[in-house]
Amino acid sequence: MFGALLLPTLLNGQAKVPLATSLTTGILLAVEAAVFLSLGLVFTTVTTAFTALVWLLVAKFRRPRHAVRDQSVHEGV
């Protein structure tokens, strides 16, 4: 249940995870969950879908933001 291990990252406001990593992982895990569902593997589907959801939430809330630059630095003041 890897999703539970990601919860501290999701809850930590200072954590920064690259968007490409978290979004790709979340999408691929969601596809994997759909495959497991088609095979009738209910428990595996639920745990994989939960992990995908956590990764997608990490992608939304913990991606690095570009800092607003101080204009006075660039104006030579």
pTM of the model: 0.78
Q: Cα 27 to chain center, whole Å?
A: 10
pLDDT digits (tens, 9 = 90+) for 7-44: 888 888 888 889 999 999 999 999 999 999 999 999 99
**Nearest CA-CA partner of 10 in 67, 63, 66:** 63
Predicted local confidence at residue 12, as pLDDT: 87
Predicted local confidence at residue 69, as pLDDT: 54
